[in-house]
Chains A and B, each alone.
Chain A
Amino acid sequence: MRDDGLNIGRRRWILVGLLAAGFASIYALDLQWSQLLPNAGGIHTAGQFFARALSPALSYESAVPLHTPPLLIKALAAAWQTILFAAAALSLALVGGAVLGFFASTALWLPAGAHEPSSGRPLGAALLGVMHALIRLLITLMRSVHELLWAVLFLAAFGLSQMSAVIALALPCAGILAKIFAELVDEAPSEAAYALRAAGASRLQVFCFALIPCAMPDILAYVLYRFECLLRTSAVLGFFGFPTLGFYIAAAFENLHYGELWSYLYTLLILIVIADWWSGLFRRELLR
């Protein structure tokens, strides 16, 4: 049999081509390798910065007002805020993603059996098609605008409001979840769906009792992965003034408190590593 897939020649050219594209981009961006070496100021900063890597601050590096909680408590509180923003956003995104995903999936509208009698209403089918396309467009728009851009837009519109941060996190996440829900449900094995259809179940019943259960483990695992991503982005939103970890990272950096900076960085690191470990464990257990 002729190997018309990734044969050896093509493989080599794909690799060479991608590498070439990378270096061409570096060239076109006018990047010099020498720029990778920090300048004198940079070296100074880098020295101070890395010097504190192994000795993160355990208490504040400058005088603080009375009754300020200890640094570690503050770092934990910031981590907790990061989690709260992510969890609130996830709850919104789950609802939005489920509703949009339901309407974006094709499984509900296509007959389970290829030769089943169709409902025979062309106008209804056309309307469904239009709705379907509009929902897909909406989903694409939601997830194509980055969380931080949503945040900037909301900042411009509403000023600094915590709710806008939650919605900024939730919108792209809902879009991605909707897309993944629809894909997973559409790709769910259809034998059970066909069997229920043959036993007289309605399309909605087939959708809810055969397709969704089939796709459920993958959906759950993906939701938890998304939560991990939300945690990261929620931390970054702090750079825009919300009280998550990023806020304190930026503040510590601007005040040149590198010890504190490392404390916050390590907090973020631990938070993400726990989430990463949790979602890995969850996935293994679910898909076992």
Chain B
Amino acid sequence: MSDGHVEIRNVTVAHASTHALDDVSLSLQPGEAVALVGLSGAGKSTLLSVCSGMIRPDSGSVEANGHELAKLTAAQLRRVRSRIGFIHQDFSLVPNLRVLQNVVSGRLGKRSFVGGVRDFLFPADDVVQKVYEILDSVGIAEKLYERTDRLSGGQRQRVAIARALFQSPDIILADEPISSVDPARAQRTIALLRQICTDRGLTLCVSLHNLELARAYFPRLIALKSGRVLFDKSVGCITQAEFDELYHIA
């Protein structure tokens, strides 16, 4: 089984202007938890987008869940994407919808158009129940029917996590999920993400600014600098010199 497996070989992205990637290779094993670190503009977001097929690399190959993304038709690509939960930096929720609708929209990729309409307007009881349980697991069950723009930043972020979980994904990619919450909440969020992914056996790849959090919660770090992989090691083996080089601004 290759569910949860991500394999990137010699990927170069040139057209994404400043956040380009230059000959990046890496491999994520099922159930693994990895933090992507580096300065902003190092190409972390681009790399995550490449993993989910939202950016097509100029050269190199991307394999997710055992499918070579470049060879897929549009419909097949949608199916692969529906198994990859993506948590965006700005949460990317529809502000004037209820939390339930935002979470339910996570599994649109698995639904027909009519099924999507039904989920959206008249969700079945078991769907609501499932959303409720997922919201419960991220700690905001009571917000089920709240309007999303009435929530605080931290709560909205949990909605975004719940939406990704509702996809019942094999892989979760999170792009700077804590950039807009306060430090205490940031730590709780990372802990929560780690725990959920461990419990469900999901592959987790998080891009992070905060090196302390990355070191504290993730066994393996991948550092990007100017679009290249600077190091890719388990946390214990990284030397101070390597960290210094990562954050050294030329």
Chain A interface (Cβ < 8 Å from any Cβ of B): 113, 115-117, 119, 191-192, 194-202, 204-205, 208-210, 213-214, 216-217
Contacts and interface: CB of A to CB of B under 8 A. Distances in A.
B54 A201 contact: no
B109 interface: yes
A119 to B, nearest CB: 6
A210 B109 contact: no
A214 B96 contact: yes
9 contacts: A116-B54, A195-B86, A195-B93, A198-B84, A199-B167, A200-B79, A205-B116, A209-B116, A213-B96
Looking at chain A's contact residues, the main secondary structure is: helix
B96 A199 contact: no
A205 B94 contact: no
Contacts of A194: 54, 88, 92
Contacts of B163: 195, 199
B92 A204 contact: no
Contact of B95 (A200, A208, A214): A214
A115 B16 CA distance: 9
Contacts of B109: 199-202
B74 interface: yes
A200 B78 contact: yes
Q: 7 closest A-B pairs (Cβ-Cβ)?
A: A200-B109, A200-B82, A195-B92, A200-B81, A201-B108, A191-B92, A200-B78
B81 A198 contact: yes
B77 A199 contact: no
B96 A217 contact: yes
A96 B113 CA distance: 22
A198 B107 CA distance: 11
Contacts of B93: 192, 195
Interface in B125-161: 160
B15 A115 contact: yes
B106 A199 contact: yes
B13 to A, nearest CB: 8
B220 interface: no
A210 B88 CA distance: 15
Given A115-B54, A116-B54, A198-B52, 18 more contacts: A115-B15, A191-B88, A191-B92, A194-B54, A195-B86, A195-B88, A195-B163, A197-B54, A199-B84, A199-B107, A200-B83, A202-B113, A209-B116, A213-B94, A213-B96, A214-B94, A214-B95, A217-B96
Nearest to A211: B94
B56 A115 contact: yes
Given A192-B94, A205-B113, A199 B108 contact: yes
B96 A115 contact: no
B26 to A, nearest CB: 20
B231 to A, nearest CB: 27
Nearest to A214: B94
A110 to B, nearest CB: 14
Nearest to B109: A200
Contacts of B117: 208
